[in-house]
Structure 1
Amino acid sequence: GKICPAAREFGAAARSAMSEAYFPVGPGLGLEENFLSLDDILMSQEKLPGRAESALPRLAFALGQGAGSGDAIPEGSKLEIPLWLAKGLHDSKRRIIFVELPKIYKEAWRTVFSADANVVDLHKMGPYYYGFGSQLLNFDNPENPEIAQTILQTFISRFRGIMDSSQNAYNKDTSALVARLDELERALFRAGQKGLNDFQCWEKGQASQITASSLVQSYGKRKFTDMDG
């Protein structure tokens, strides 16, 4: 049978929308995660050092510590456990696992950050320094206040230089700087570059030129084609 014009137009618009570029979803902030964010999904795979406080049945194979899927991890075993699983197993009332701090969040490194946070290659030490560090606050560690303070001060200390560099991106090579940034900082750098580019377009009068989106253009072309037919 015939397909009604409205359904045909809707199908054309839907196909065009599906062909649009992927629009990234931003990561969550603080203790929360956004499971529609690729950055948060990748961050949740980062591993934490820890120790089994009780036997963990059927987890040995998943954590690379056993040959069979039914093998248990004995109590006292050292672990390298993904963040998402550590959060799932953590229980402040029942001692299931003990989560240790990664070295970059320990006191020695906190001292380095306090002295000069700008000298640290955050991407090398951990590409999700801010997000991962915020997630560590889910665990009952007595050093949590110091960790939170260091993360905040590190961001404040590095923010000005990142944004200044993003505004001078056309005048100098910033690749060395960007290579040292964590993923949140890279997103800020890109936002700064985009803001500069948009402002320059506005200065040149290009911002006043209103153009139809590709979705609207595709929809219009399909509609006129159907009318001609």
Structure 2
Amino acid sequence: MPGNDYWDLDAIIADHQKLPCFFHNDVPGYGFLEGNHETDLSANAKVELPYWLAEHLAVNDHVDLELPKCFNQRVRDDISASPTSVNLNRLCPYYYRFGVNIINLIVDAALPEVLSQAFKARLPCIMDYTQTSRLRTDRSEFIHSLDETERELYKLGHETVMEMMQWDRRKAVRIQTAEILSRRVGRH
């Protein structure tokens, strides 16, 4: 984890997303990772490990990583066809953070473009929904499909709209003459 994410709960949860790994060698005493009762983990065994552990093992060349299901070709095709209809929250609650984490670990030249395309296509829709106050069913389905990054943007956009409405209705802090200036005006 980067130093500034150390206390960030979202970063911690994103680092716990599972990543399929294949071990290069036998690992004595770690058969439980495979879900078996054997004491050893055999070479080429496929095990799903949290990102924080898989990253360390991959960097030290102990495992090969496989692309997680949330970034497979079917999901990419769905995003290409209609980015706003894909339920990213169901695929991976931290879809973008997890994707950015694995970009440098897994050789896949198209992954950055997939993440960028999805984000760029969904962002205007998120911002449009922050501008309206009535909740419609199609809108609520879309809001439930947002990953945590998008939910935070939606929340910030909605709060900004509410603050702007308060300001527009003059319910925000009113500007008043400073007490010292009002005393000077009274003397003349």
TM-score category, normalised to shorter length: 0.7 to 0.9
* Other-structure match for 1:185: 150
Gaps of 5+ in 2: 176-188
Gap regions ≥5 residues in structure 1:
1-27, 211-229
Give % identity.
29
- After TM superposition, the score normalised by the length of structure 2 is 0.82
Partner of 2:63: 97
| In 1, Cα distance between equivalents of 2:84 and 2:66 | 26
Matched with 2:46 is 78
1:206 to 150, 165, 171: 171
The answer on 1:114 being equivalent to 2:80 is yes
Q: CA deviation at 1:148?
A: 0.3
Contact 2:66 2:106 in 1 (8 A): no
Shift, 1:123, TM fit:
0.7
Out of 184, 187, 195, the position equivalent to 2:160 is 195
Matches within 5 A, 1:135-214: 135-141=101-107, 143=108, 145-168=109-132, 170-173=133-136, 174-209=139-174
Instruction: Give the conservation status (yes or no) of the 8 Å contact 1:65–1:73.
Output: no
Partner of 1:51: 22
Deviation at 1:33, TM superposition (A): 7.2
**Aligned Cα RMSD in Å?**
2.4
Offset at residue 51 of structure 1 (A)? 1.1
Cα-to-partner distance string for 1:63-91 (whole Å, 9 max, x where unaligned):
364669xx442211110111110011112
Aligned length: 173
Instruction: State the match for 1:125 in structure 2.
Output: 91
**TM-score (normalised: structure 1):** 0.68
Q: Shift of residue 56 of structure 1?
A: 3.0
**CA offsets per residue over residues 152-207 of structure 1, 9 Å max, x none?**
01000000001101111x22234322211111110011011100011011112222
Closer, same or farther: CA 209–88 of 1 in aligned 2, 3 Å: farther
